[in-house]
Every structure is written in C-alpha cells, then in structure tokens.
Chain A
C-alpha cells in the first residue's frame, strides 16, 4: 500500500453508493420490466461489483502489474464461462 491509502471519506461514499444501488435493485424488482427485468438487475449488480473491486479491493490506482493481470484473467475466465455456454444456448434447437 505504498503511499496509496484511500481516505475514510472515499470508503463511506462508496458504501452509501452501494446502499443506494441496493435500494434501486429492490425498487426495480417491484416494477415489471418484462424481458428487461434480469438485464436491469444484472447491470446494477455489475456496477456494484465494480465499485467494490475498484475501491474496497484497491484495484484502482494499483501500479502492480501482477494485480492487473489477476483482474484481467478473472474477467477473461468469466468471459469464457459465459461465452462458451452461450455457444450452446444460442444454437440449441429449442422445441
């Protein structure tokens, strides 16, 4: 953490933001958006996960190449999970 301490204020701001997003999720769950229900919920969840990774897990502002590599590979393998599963879902014969 050489010289890169995040201030307490930032942590609280992020925390408040996360709470607001949680509220938003609950709110969105109460209105029927049809096919967009899942899309909206997942978008909010992704934003929250990104905030947590960037600030609480200190990805933002890191100068460590290895840390960056870890983040990129985690995202890459998530992409593989979704992408290759989609190779099934998008071409399956649904009857």
Chain B
C-alpha cells in the first residue's frame, strides 16, 4: 500500500472494523462492550431522572396533590433502585473502566472477554426484569427494602429484588475481570507503582464488588424466602430479628457507596494531573487510600442503624470506625489540592467537573461525619439532611466524576472533539443546578422535614426551600441533557480528534483515536513513571511513540 493512499483512507479502528448488528451484540471487544453499557446506563439514567422529576413536582406544593401516597412510595423506590443499581454502580466501571483499563495497562483486552460480554447480558436481563416490574406496578419498599415491610408488601418486590440480584452478578463479573486483568495483563514495565490511579481505584472497587455483592444477593434471597416460606429469619414472632436484615443489607450497601465513589476518584486523579500538568502529589498515598477505603468501608455499616435499636456499645464502635473511614477520603482530597499547588492549571471542561467533584464531595463527606456522630444522627436521621448528604456524594461526586471522565476520554472513545464552550457551560449549569437542588435539602432536614413524605401540608413553611429545590432540579436536568446533545452532535459534526488532544500522560493516549480493535499496533513497553508531565512538557524532548 502506498503511503499516500494510507493517509487518505480512514484507519481501521474498533468502530469501523465491522458494522453488523451481530458484530456488536456478540462482540468480545472491551471497547464495544463499554459502548453497549454506555447506551444501556444512559437509558436507565433517563428513567431514574424521570422519577426524580415526578418526585420534585409533587414536593413543589405542600399538599399531596400530584400523586397519591402509594404512588409516591413507588416513585422514590423505583428512582432509588434504578439510579443505584442500574445507573451509578455500573456507570464508571462498566463504561470508562471497561474501555480504558486494558489500554491503560497496555493490554489487548480484559482477561476474560467473553465473561465481560456475559456481564452485559446479565445487566440487560436484570434491566428487563426491572422494566417489567416498573411497567406492571413497581415496588414500594424504598431502595433499602427493609423488612418487615418488604416481606409483606403486596407490590412487586420479588421481581425488583430478582432484577437487582441478577444485575448484582453482572457487577461481580466486572469486578472479577478487572482484578484478574490488573494482575495478569500488565504490559512489560507497567509495574504496580506505575499504574494510573484510575486503575488503582478500579482495583479497589472490584475488591468491594467481589466481597460485598454476594451478601446483598443472599439478603434478597432471604427476604424472598421469608415472604414465601415464612422461615422466621427476620420475623421476631418466629424467632427472627428484623435488624439482622439491616446488618446484612448495609454490610453490602455501605461498601457499595464506595463502589460508586471510588471510580470517580480515579477519574479525578487522571484529570487533575493532566490539567495541572503535574504528577499527582503523594501517588502512593492516593493509591493505597483506595485500598484502605475498600477495606475500612466494610467496618462502618451500622452507622445506618443508630436509631434502629442496635446495642449502644456497638453503635459507639461503629461511630468511631466511621470517623476512621473518612481519613483515606481526606487523604485524597488533600493530595489533589496539593497537586494543584504551583501546577500550571488549565480550566478545560473536564477540569471544571473535577473542581466540582472536589468541592461537592468534600461537602458530602463532611456531612457524613455529622451523621456518624451519634447525637446529631438522632436529630437528622430519616430527614432530608440524609438525602442531601448522599446526593452530594453520589450525584455531586460520582456523577460529576462520570461526566468529567466522559468529556476527558470522549475524543478517545469517539474519535471526535466535543465543543469546548458548550462543555464548559454545561459544567457550570450542572454545578449551579446541583447546589440549588440539594443545598436547601440540608436546611430542610435540619429543620425537621422527614424524607419519603409526599405531603407536608402540616408544615407549609417548608415550601420555599422545596420550590428552590425543584427549580434547581430543572436546571440540573438541562445541565445533563446538554452533554447528551453535543456528544451526539460531535459524532457527526465534531472535528476529528488527534490521538492525544490534551497532551496527557498514560498509555491510552499513545494509540489512535479511536483505537484499533486490539488497542495497540505493536505491544507497548513502559519505561517511564506514571504522570511524567515534567518530561512530556519539557522542551525539545520528543515523546517516543509507543504501539503505533
């Protein structure tokens, strides 16, 4: 082939290698599976968002006028279940992690490509069950499906539980794949101390997925068995204990909050290093704080049960341990901040999301400490304060990280550049909309507005803050729709992306955008440290092309 011709024809990449439907639905290419996940979780994000919209509309007025109490219970239940299990848990790992981890470590694919595809199919089966459940009436247990209510409700809890059960196995398989891949598939020279922090974060996440998810699966089965066979595991009349359910549920679900936030922390480390043009300050502290979070995250679950009637002594222990788990998170925040110090900071869109993440995650984390204090928790538990706390972390933190990552790696994924001005605007709108939605909820909760109420006509003074929150949610919604629109727009009209548009460190930037099916044209060998921005930016030193 002549050189001239090679320049004219488009390079073969994972997207244009084959166009058939089968080539997508039966693919074992981690990049294509990542896109399958991207489409599916976006779908569920819209469903979850639609429920959120209805919840906020109901709360616009004190009277329970838009929907009935029963409907409202179903709205927040399905909102929570969809957002947690079908959007946020798979979001960064199954999309960005799937796409990037093999490339970041210089591998051709994940260790088990077919298991990767299986995990997507399990997710889809779980998702289909969830959709069926929603279309035929839905469940009303709350996403936490506490017994005794979940054992007696005559709404569709069993089907929702089954959906989560199946999706849980998809999550386990993703975690398994990542662990084995990181151990076994690193390119020569890609030592553990050279791994991108994104990979460390996903490694820690995978440990939680492997160790925690089976427990929630068993818990769902036990509730189902309790419903049908009246085994007496949770029912005190039959010698059971309802708090046992909460122990089992939170043994998974507290660590699960770290399944949601750790990958976002990984994204932020990559983005901050790139746009501050510096190696992350305290690389090994940031790396090991991920592992510490994964382990300590398993020691604090009963802070969700302080008012449920657990032993006071036990509560004291769990309160103390909850303070301890905040330490590794704080280590990260301090290290990111220290990275900015004397960095050469660029305010590109991904960096704006990263800044948003740091601020909002800090607020969410610090209010977590309020809640971990026994005395304060008694006052604010089951109020909007808790709702605000976890949305600051899960939406302000994790979703910000997800969006920041989507922008950062969009040129690699799609081969197209997004419009920078619009992206900055969207980041700003999301930040403003988010705070307007959720900050009033801290105040509402502190003043005593309970969560999960559809009618607050006996406390009309809460309306002002609720209106503010609903208004904020509208702005936030626009902020989420915008990236959807310009990402799709860029697929057709965007400028072609160079291989490394941000001049970033990391193996994924040393291959084509979009990458070829097996990621690199020749096997990469790593001879440099992670985040070698001083070398990349040093004048006159040409980066050695790898794998091209």
Contacts and interface: CB of A to CB of B under 8 A. Distances in A.
B211 interface: yes
Interface in B309-332: 309-314, 317-318
Given A73-B211, A77-B211, A81-B215, A88 B310 contact: yes
B313 A87 contact: yes
Which secondary structure characterizes the binding site on chain A? helix
B87 interface: no
Given A81-B215, A84-B299, A92 B314 contact: yes
Given A73-B211, A77-B298, A81-B215, A88 B314 contact: yes
B205 to A, nearest CB: 15
A63 interface: no
A92 B243 CA distance: 11
B156 interface: no
Contacts of A85: 244, 247, 251
B247 A91 contact: no
Interface string B500-530: 0000000000000000000000000000000
A91 B315 CA distance: 10
B298 A80 contact: yes
B311 A66 contact: no
Contacts of A66: 183
Interface in A53-95: 66, 73-74, 77, 80-81, 84-85, 87-93
Interface in B275-332: 298-299, 301-302, 309-314, 317-318
Nearest to A83: B299
A74 B211 contact: yes
Nearest to B298: A80
A88 B211 contact: no
B400 to A, nearest CB: 30
B298 A92 contact: no
A88 B243 contact: yes
Contacts of A93: 311-312
Given A74-B211, A77-B211, A81-B215, A88 B298 contact: no
A87 B314 contact: yes
A92 B310 CA distance: 6
A88 B183 contact: no
A16 B278 CA distance: 62
B302 A88 contact: yes
Nearest to A87: B314
B521 to A, nearest CB: 31
Contacts of B302: 84, 88
User: For the side of the interface on B, what is the size category?
Assistant: 20 to 34
Nearest to B241: A89
Contact of B311 (A74, A77, A80, A88): A88
Contacts of A87: 311, 313-314, 317
Contact of B313 (A81, A84, A91): A91
B317 to A, nearest CB: 6
Contacts of B248: 81
Nearest to B255: A77
A85 B248 CA distance: 9
Contacts of A91: 311-314
Contacts of B310: 88, 92
A91 B302 CA distance: 14
Nearest to B243: A88
Interface in B247-290: 247-248, 251
A85 B302 CA distance: 9
A92 B298 CA distance: 21
A84 B298 CA distance: 10
Nearest to A80: B298
Nearest to B211: A77
B538 to A, nearest CB: 39
A12 B448 CA distance: 63
Nearest to A77: B211
Contacts of B211: 73-74, 77
Interface string A30-74: 000000000000000000000000000000000000100000011
A77 B301 CA distance: 13
A90 B311 CA distance: 8
Contacts of A74: 211
Given A80-B298, A81-B251, A84-B302, A92 B215 contact: no
A91 B313 CA distance: 7
A66 B182 CA distance: 12
B1 to A, nearest CB: 43
Interface of B: 183, 211, 215, 243-244, 247-248, 251, 298-299, 301-302, 309-314, 317-318
9 contacts: A73-B211, A77-B298, A80-B299, A84-B302, A84-B314, A87-B314, A88-B302, A91-B311, A92-B309
Interface of A: 66, 73-74, 77, 80-81, 84-85, 87-93
Given A88-B243, A89-B311, A91-B314, 17 more contacts: A66-B183, A73-B211, A77-B211, A81-B215, A81-B247, A81-B248, A84-B302, A85-B247, A85-B251, A87-B311, A87-B313, A88-B302, A90-B311, A91-B313, A92-B309, A92-B311, A92-B314
| A-B complex: 4 closest residue pairs judged by Cβ atoms | A92-B311, A88-B314, A91-B311, A91-B313
